[in-house]
């Protein structure tokens, strides 16, 4: 039987070769990534349990923080266990279906990190700038009007991206220089024209995290302008908003650096690009619950109260 021409081959099994240039040192990456995964799982689980179990934290703002913790808990579970096994046992193979599924889950769930921060900014806007109408606008029936458009946007964009990527033929090679499947990491292995995939990936990056960031920035400019006139209450309001700004700024920097590193000429070593890509997922997952737990007075108080009730029952 004659061998098929290279252009007729389409790989269906891929190898994830992130950090392989480190050689025998690669296995030691298990330790920091496992510790970050453990921190993310423990801190987000505690935050979710605390908000669900304490009635004092059942306001809209804390429900949104709880949803953020659910996102932060889910994201690392999509790829970190497989990555840890790869560090220890070189289990680096993944099917095309598995790769596309991983891309969709990472991008779809990840899109809600910025979207939830946008909803938090909306909550703060009504609480600070429209306090008399807060409960009216934040009722579930009314709040769903603000939720439905971003949800549809996130679903449609990610489904289109995955469906187009699934139609490509992958004949260049079957090695992805990454620890998990990223959209452009997979598309770069395809034969033929991938300009539509590249354009759609950029469109998704600017229509979801970048657009959410612009909305958040505009909201906080209005909030800051309003609270400056309120005297003593201004510092508390600004402190709450700064927490959200810190989270979204770091998340956006890591995400956009990772997205753009595939599309513009740069001198990034492959290991640095892979590290940044893993960091933009793990960093928010590890530190969001800590930031909210430390900087949010109500959550900190309820955590200490819960701890005292359990350890020192009265």
pLDDT for the residue numbered 261:
66
Cα–Cα distance list, 297 to 117, 144, 291, 307 (Å) = 18, 27, 11, 15
Average of per-residue pLDDT values in the chain:
81
Encoded tokens for 232:
């003593």
In a domain, 308, yes or no: no
Q: What does pTM read for this prediction?
A: 0.84
More confident residue, 110 or 242: 110
In a domain, 306, yes or no: no
pLDDT, tens only, 137-187:
777 777 777 788 888 888 999 999 999 998 888 887 888 888 888 888 888
Assign 96 to helix, strand or coil.
Answer: helix
pLDDT, tens only, 59-102:
888 888 899 899 999 999 988 999 999 998 888 889 999 999 99
% of residues, the chain, pLDDT over 70: 86
Whether 111 contacts 102, CB under 8 Å: no
Whether 177 contacts 79, CB under 8 Å: no
More confident residue, 269 or 116: 116
In a domain, 271, yes or no: yes
* Gap between the Cα atoms of 50 and 57, Å rounded: 8
In a domain, 265, yes or no: yes
H or E segment at 16?
strand 13-16
Dihedral sign of CA atoms 43, 49, 52, 55 in order = negative
In a domain, 314, yes or no: no
pLDDT for the residue numbered 313:
46
pLDDT for the residue numbered 40:
92
Cα–Cα distance list, 262 to 19, 55, 190, 269, 298 (Å) = 17, 46, 14, 12, 42
In a domain, 4, yes or no: no
Report the number of distinct structural domains present in the chain: 1
pLDDT for the residue numbered 1:
40
pLDDT, tens only, 207-238:
888 788 888 888 888 888 887 776 555 566 56
CATH number (domain holding residue 28) = 1.20.1070.10
Structural domain boundaries enclosing 295: 11-299
């Amino acid at each position: 039987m004659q061998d098929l021409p290279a252009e007729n081959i389409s790989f269906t099994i891929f190898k994830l070769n992130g950090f392989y240039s480190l050689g025998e040192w690669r296995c030691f990456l298990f330790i920091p990534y496992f510790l970050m995964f453990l921190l993310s799982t423990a801190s987000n689980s505690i935050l979710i349990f605390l908000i669900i179990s304490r009635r004092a934290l059942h306001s809209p703002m804390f429900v949104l923080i709880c949803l953020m913790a659910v996102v932060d808990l889910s994201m690392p579970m999509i790829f970190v266990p497989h990555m840890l096994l790869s560090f220890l046992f070189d289990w680096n193979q993944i099917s095309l279906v598995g790769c596309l599924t991983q891309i969709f889950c990472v991008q779809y769930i990840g899109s809600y990190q910025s979207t939830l921060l946008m909803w938090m900014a909306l909550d703060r806007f009504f609480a600070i700038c429209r306090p008399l109408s807060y409960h009216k606008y934040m009722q579930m029936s009314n709040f769903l009007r603000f939720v439905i458009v971003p949800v549809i946007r996130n679903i449609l964009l990610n489904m289109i991206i995955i469906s187009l990527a699934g139609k490509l033929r992958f004949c260049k090679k079957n090695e992805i220089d990454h620890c998990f499947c990223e959209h452009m990491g997979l598309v770069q292995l395809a034969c033929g024209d991938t300009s539509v995939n590249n354009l759609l990936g950029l469109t998704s990056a600017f229509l979801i995290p970048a657009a959410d960031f612009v909305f958040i920035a505009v909201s906080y400019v209005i909030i800051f302008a309003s609270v400056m006139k309120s005297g003593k209450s201004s510092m508390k309001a600004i402190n709450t908003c700064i927490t959200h700004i810190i989270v979204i700024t770091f998340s956006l920097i890591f995400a956009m650096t990772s997205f753009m590193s595939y599309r513009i000429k740069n001198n990034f070593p492959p290991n640095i690009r892979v590290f940044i890509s893993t960091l933009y997922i793990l960093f928010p997952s590890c530190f969001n619950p800590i930031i909210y737990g430390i900087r949010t007075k109500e959550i900190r108080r309820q955590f200490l109260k819960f701890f005292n009730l359990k350890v020192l029952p009265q």
